[in-house]
């Protein structure tokens, strides 16, 4: 433990040395440091030379932390610009033949021109678009929380609450059905499905639930050897040897039939209809434009107030 007082005349305490280093980091001159610490200039110079390694180490550490913080802010700006803003871009699609809404990354969020819903397409497209909007990766969820912690006073969150009021029921009930599918398939899939396709079976089932709840038709699977393929040629499943592919196909159909008998099914159909209504879409479009403006302001920020749970400093 460092001594806090001088044991005899002329002895320099550790506190004085640390004060010398602190003042030196602030850019103070040798004379100013000597006056502030009550030491001779030569003494100050000698101790600073002796502790030069500490000074360099502190400077390196400082620069590393500054760079990490700068990278953190850049990551939040990029997140606001692309992955977050992508959910709310209400501008018209510039792609020929498409009249729907677009996003900057990675493509049209809805070919039907409906905010808050996946566009029409295959079960794989529908479920992946739903996942991008409502089931982001864990890293994106952490970044979203960090963005909120840094910008809690921004109008962004007022507009986002308005958005959530419109789509919240759809998000909640669809999440319930996704969990139901996972629970329903878990006991069987371990001894019926090749491990490579365990997750794809769940997303195919969930995609069909979203399709049918929105007024579309169920996809019919094509059996090719041990594989079950969707019309898009997506390999939904490969059964293990000894399992009849047709029996497995029938089992998947049975799960979809059971889903339509659930109380959550009617809630999903109702929530989907609500989002499709022109009045709802009009409100979502206005909210989306306000969200874009708020996110645009965040994109221009070079630093953020306060701290968040991801701050490196």
Q: Give tens-digit pLDDT for 94-153.
A: 333 333 333 333 333 333 457 888 877 889 988 988 988 898 888 888 999 999 999 999
Examine the domain organization and report whether 242 and 115 are in the same domain: yes
> Does any domain span residue 306?
no
Does the pTM exceed 0.85?
Answer: no
Examine the domain organization and report whether 219 and 100 are in the same domain: yes
Residue 104 has a pLDDT of 33
Examine the domain organization and report whether 179 and 42 are in the same domain: no
Residue 8 has a pLDDT of 38
Taking 50 as the pLDDT cut, the residues of the chain under it are 1-9, 91-112
Examine the domain organization and report whether 280 and 131 are in the same domain: yes
Examine the domain organization and report whether 234 and 101 are in the same domain: yes
Return the HEC string of 249-301. HHHHHHHHHHHCCCHHHHHHHHHHHHHHCHHHHHHHHHHHHHHHHHHHHHHCC
Examine the domain organization and report whether 36 and 129 are in the same domain: no
What is the number of domains present in the chain? 2
SS3 content of the chain, % helix, strand, coil (to 5): 65, 5, 30
Examine the domain organization and report whether 198 and 285 are in the same domain: yes
d(CA 123, CA 252): 14
Residue 52 has a pLDDT of 73
> Does any domain span residue 88?
yes
Domain of 45 in residue numbering reads as: 14-50
> Does any domain span residue 9?
no
Residue 259 has a pLDDT of 96
- 3 state DSSP class of 85: helix
Examine the domain organization and report whether 150 and 207 are in the same domain: yes
Residue 270 has a pLDDT of 97
């Amino acid at each position: 433990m460092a001594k806090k007082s001088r044991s005899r005349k002329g002895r320099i305490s550790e506190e004085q040395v640390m004060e010398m280093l602190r003042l030196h980091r602030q850019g103070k001159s040798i004379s100013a440091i000597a006056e502030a610490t009550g030491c001779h200039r030569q003494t100050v110079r000698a101790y600073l030379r002796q502790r030069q390694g500490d000074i360099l180490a502190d400077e390196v550490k400082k620069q590393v932390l500054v760079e990490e913080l700068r990278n953190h802010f850049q990551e939040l700006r990029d997140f606001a610009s692309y992955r977050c803003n992508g959910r709310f871009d209400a501008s018209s699609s510039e792609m020929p033949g498409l009249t729907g809404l677009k996003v900057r990354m990675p493509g049209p969020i809805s070919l039907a021109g409906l905010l808050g819903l996946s566009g029409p397409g295959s079960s794989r497209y529908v479920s992946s678009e739903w996942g991008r909007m409502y089931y982001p990766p864990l890293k994106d969820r952490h970044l979203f929380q960090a963005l909120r912690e840094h910008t809690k006073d921004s109008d962004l969150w007022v507009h986002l609450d308005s958005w959530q009021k419109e789509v919240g029921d759809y998000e909640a009930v669809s999440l319930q059905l996704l969990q139901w599918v996972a629970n329903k398939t878990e006991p069987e899939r371990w001894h019926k499905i090749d491990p490579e396709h365990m997750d794809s079976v769940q997303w195919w089932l969930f995609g069909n639930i979203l399709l049918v709840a929105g007024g579309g038709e169920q996809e019919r699977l094509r059996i090719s050897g041990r594989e079950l393929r969707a019309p898009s040629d997506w390999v939904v499943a490969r059964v293990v040897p000894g399992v009849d592919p047709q029996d497995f196909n029938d089992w998947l159909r049975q799960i979809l039939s059971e889903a339509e008998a659930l109380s959550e099914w009617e809630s999903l159909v109702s929530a989907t209809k609500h989002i499709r209504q022109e009045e709802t879409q009009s409100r979502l479009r206005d909210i989306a434009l306000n969200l874009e403006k708020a996110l645009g302001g965040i994109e221009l920020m070079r630093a953020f107030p306060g701290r968040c749970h991801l701050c490196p400093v």
